[in-house]
Copies of this chain bind each other. A is one copy, B any other.
Amino acid sequence: MADTETVTAARGPAYPTTTAAVAHRPLGGRAVRLTGGLLADWQQRNHVVSLPLALRQLEVAGNLDNLRLAGTGVNSGYRGPAFMDSDVYKTLEAVSWQLGRADDPALAEFAADTTALLAKAQQDDGYLNSYAQVTGRPRYARLETSHELYCAGHLIQAAVAANRSFDGGALLAVARRFADHLVGTFLGRQAGLDGHPIVETALVELYRETGTAAYLELASQFVDQRGHGLVGDSGFGSRYLQDYRPVRESTVMAGHAVRALYLESGVVDVAVETGDSELLASSLARWQDMVAAKTTLTGGIGSRHSGEAFGDAYELPPDRAYNETCAAIGSFHWNWRLLLATGQARYADLMERILYNGFGAAVSADGHRFFYVNPLQRRDDHFEDDDPGRRREWFSCACCPPNIMRLIASLNRYVATISGDALYLHLLGQARVTAPVTDGVISVDVSTDYPWDGSIELTVVSAPASECGIAVRIPAWSAGVSVRLNGERLAAEQGEHGYLLLRRTWQPGDVLACSLDMPPRLTYPHRRIDALRGTAAVERGPLVYCFEQADQPAGLSVEDIALGKGDLAGHALTLAEVGRTVVVEAGAAILPAAQLPAAQLPADDRNQLPYRPEPTGTDQHSAAAGRSPVTAVAIPYFQWDNRDGQAMRVWMPCDRPEDRATSQDPAPSRAPFPAHDS
């Protein structure tokens, strides 16, 4: 059993100081151990498959060679884009979080060797950037595109992770030297801003780790300098760079999604460390804008390929959804900070949505391949330039794979928080959770098959002598939950911000069992999302489902399926290549033949365009008449593209709501307390 010291010694990402204005505090890094289930499997896969792949790719792509060239003062031979160092740093951060979970000599060797490489490449005044050093480009001369502070930020994040996970003092020293150089160069001046934020949150984290106030001051300065046109012209405009409006005045999410998201983590970090509620409020306003009108069902963001950018409000096409994996990660990091700042379940809800859907899909079932772009629909014969849109081992711009790895390696650190004398469970995986409360330590075992099953059983392993709280997030999607304490059903009671909170003097062996109804359900889009008009999606628990061609009856195209009123039934299965899953069988219909394909149109039919004066047969609204019933099969979205590479859809043409209203479906049962929207 862990004692208080162990629990607090290893800290996780975004670890506010004791004076920060936060509602919740994270636990120490070894306070949560994922003991089984999907998230534990992901961490294992990440450790065994993905991280070794990254270590190889950093050699193949030349990232480490670039640093070696910088270390030996060679002035040619640099390979790749300007931000190649950041892939090294993100991998190092992933390795650090992994070493925080368990020893691994090979990873520890990589961390030590790379740290030594960085220390050698670092210049005397603390500056470190292989691109500038090897190519001889002047420092900080083109910050709008050079990514120098971006790389510095990732170096700092890696060093903080190392220091919070194992003996990372050597890497922290490298990061501090660079940070001190940044303070000397930028603090109190208008000396430039990086086109790609991340140094802001990194500097706050370094302040948290070291207590050096100048780091926080520089982060704060960078946040407030943004939006005044100080970033140069990168060719994509000022929105792309979040430089078109001061942060405090901006109420919309615009421009390059990853940049916008990374900036928000810095904004919240600065706000909570300086107690700046105005700054926090501006971030919350942008969150609302993003969530209400610019987020896909999978939690993905950044709908535009061009500029990798946020689109207009309600511009959320399923097929063209860019949804960069790094944007999902950036949103996860931002939501974690908002959860700490406010304690509201909506941020944990969105973390969960991202985790199991938009983010989860970014890795192949075997851990070998990664998505950069995460659409909600793929047509047959899809091409993006010459790319068929499948996962890849690596990318010429390889920001996503090591970013995925650092999040998965740190997943356990996002499971729970402490607020006052209560332990809060946010992510509902199987875990051992140990947390300091007022009078000692509370430790619980969480036993669950989540997200495949909605039954979650907490067994108290140890508890303090006095009363303390245990809170479990009841997801917003839950239409019904029953709760038992040591077998006795608890009456409905008011949750706090979406949490079931029980406060008592816990005894070892106490069992708190929550059972979340998890029937497959249909979800409908907002009317203003033009691209989704007339469709519905299947969800089950926290999982968004998709219809892949591989699972449909022979001869049935996923493009011809309309969701009907039939029951949705889930079945646990293991599918080769996809692995364990729960498929949903959907009562559906085969839509009547659409307008004939051009090849079959009569040769004398002059109008070959896909537009007709009569809707007959060309419009899914008429699906009710003349269609054939069929059972279509859906699998979790995160498991897509592990098989044939063919068509996939999340949003399906659906029945008219009027038909639903008069159907024999029972009214949905309600939760015993209003855990979801009313």
- Interface residues in chain A, defined as those with a beta carbon under 8 Å from any beta carbon in chain B: 236-240, 244, 254-255, 288-289, 291-293, 295, 297, 304-307, 309, 312-320, 344-346, 349, 377, 379, 381-387, 476-477, 479, 498, 521-531, 533-537, 559, 591, 594-595, 597-599, 601-602, 605-622, 624-625, 651, 653, 656-658, 660, 668, 675-678
The 3 A-B pairs of least Cβ separation, nearest first, read A292-B598, A526-B610, A237-B386
| Residues on B with beta carbons closer than 8 Å to the beta carbon of A614 | 524
A-B contact pairs, 22 of them (CB 8 A): A240-B386, A295-B610, A297-B609, A297-B611, A306-B306, A309-B385, A312-B381, A314-B379, A315-B319, A316-B610, A526-B595, A526-B611, A526-B612, A527-B595, A527-B618, A528-B610, A530-B651, A602-B678, A607-B677, A621-B621, A622-B656, A622-B658
Q: Is the CB of B521 within 8 A of A383?
A: no
Q: Is the CB of B605 within 8 A of A677?
A: yes
Partner of A530, one of B304, B387, B531, B675: B531
Partner of A527, one of B293, B306, B591, B599: B591
> Contact between A525 and B306 (Cβ–Cβ < 8 Å)?
no
Docked CA distance A346–B598 (Å): 13
Which of B236, B237, B534 is within 8 Å of A534, CB to CB? B534
Q: Which residues of B contact A498 (CB under 8 A)?
A: 606
| A239–B609 alpha-carbon span in the complex (Å) | 24
Bound CA span A657–B658, Å? 15
Number of copies of this chain that the complex holds: 2
The chain B residue with its CB closest to the CB of A292 is B598
Q: Which residues of B contact A618 (CB under 8 A)?
A: 524-527
User: A526, B621: Cβ atoms under 8 Å?
Assistant: no
Complex CA gap A605/B476 in Å reads: 9
Contacts of A523 in B (CB 8 A): 611-613
> Across the interface, which residues of B come within 8 angstroms of A297, CB to CB?
609, 611
Chain B contacts for A601, CB-based, 8 A:
292
Contacts of A607 in B (CB 8 A): 346, 349, 476, 676-677
Q: Is the CB of B653 within 8 A of A656?
A: no
Whether the Cβ atoms of B622 and A319 lie closer than 8 Å is: no
Given contacts A317-B320, A381-B312, A524-B611, contact A606 B239 (CB under 8 A): no
Judge whether B377 and A530 touch: CB under 8 Å: yes
CA distance A307 to B386 in the complex (A): 11
Contacts of A521 in B (CB 8 A): 613
A177 to chain B, nearest CB (A): 37
Q: Give bound CA distance, A535 to B529, whole Å.
A: 13
- Check B676–A612 contact: CB distance below 8 A: no
Which B residue sits closest to A562, measured CB to CB?
B527
A291 touching B598, Cβ below 8 Å: yes
Shortest distance in angstroms between A541's beta carbon and chain B's nearest beta carbon?
A: 13
Bound complex: CA of A651 vs CA of B534, how far in Å? 14
Q: Considering the chains assembled together, what is the distance between the CA atoms of A278 and B595 in angstroms?
A: 28
* Complex contact B656–A656 (CB within 8 A): yes
Q: Which residue of B lies closest to A309 (CB)?
A: B385
Q: Which residues of chain B are near A385, meaning CB under 8 Å?
A: 236-237, 239-240, 255, 307, 309
Q: Given B239, B619, B621, B675, which contacts A383 in the complex, CB threshold below 8 Å?
A: B239
Contact indicator B613/A531 (Cβ below 8 Å): no
CA distance A384 to B237 in the complex (A): 9
Is A527 touching B620 in the complex (CB atoms < 8 A)? Answer: yes
Q: A346-B607, A533-B533 are in contact. List 20 more A-B contacts (CB 8 A).
A: A238-B386, A254-B383, A255-B385, A291-B598, A304-B320, A306-B384, A314-B610, A319-B531, A320-B320, A524-B615, A524-B619, A526-B595, A530-B531, A533-B619, A533-B620, A605-B678, A612-B677, A621-B657, A624-B658, A656-B656
Q: In the assembly, what is the distance between CA of A536 and CA of B611, in Å? A: 9
In the complex the two chains form, what is the Cα distance from A620 to B524 in whole Å?
11
Contact B613 A668 (CB under 8 A): yes
Q: Which residues does chain B contribute within 8 Å of A237, judged by CB atoms?
A: 385-387
Q: Are B656 and A621 in contact (CB under 8 A)?
A: yes
CB contacts (< 8 Å) of A531 on chain B: these are 317, 319, 530-531
- Say whether B307 contacts A304, CB under 8 Å: no
The docked-state distance in angstroms from the alpha carbon of A270 to that of B401 is 48
- CA–CA, A622 and B657, complex, Å: 7
In the assembled complex, how far is the CB of residue A617 from the closest CB belonging to chain B, in whole angstroms?
8
Question: Is the CB–CB distance between A594 and B305 below 8 Å?
Answer: no
Smallest Cβ distance from A339 to chain B, in angstroms? 12
Task: Report the Cα distance A383→B346, complex, angstroms.
Answer: 29
- Distance in angstroms from A497 CB to nearest chain B CB is 8
Tell me the bound Cα distance from A618 to B536 in angstroms: 11
Residues of chain B within 8 A of A315, CB atoms compared: 319-320, 379
Asked if A291 contacts B608 (CB within 8 A), the reply is yes
CB distance from A565 to the nearest CB of B (A): 12
Query: Closest B-chain residue to A597, C-beta based?
Result: B292
CA–CA, A95 to B591, complex, Å? 54
* Chain B hits for A594, CB < 8 A: 526-528
Establish whether residues B305 and A621, one from each chain, have CB atoms under 8 Å apart when the complex forms: no
Cβ contact within 8 Å between A313 and B476: no
Assuming the A-B contacts A288-B599, A598-B289, A608-B346, are A479 and B613 also in contact, with contact meaning beta carbons closer than 8 angstroms in the complex? yes
| Nearest opposing residue in chain B for A537, CB measure | B611
Which residues in B have their C-beta under 8 angstroms from that of A656?
621-622, 656
Q: Which residues of the other chain, B, contact A386 by a CB distance below 8 angstroms?
A: 237-240, 244
Cβ of A256 to closest chain B Cβ, rounded Å: 10
Q: State A313–B381 Cα separation when bound (angstroms).
A: 9
A615 CA to B524 CA in the complex, in Å?
Answer: 6
In the complex, chain B residues whose CB is within 8 Å of the CB of A651: 530
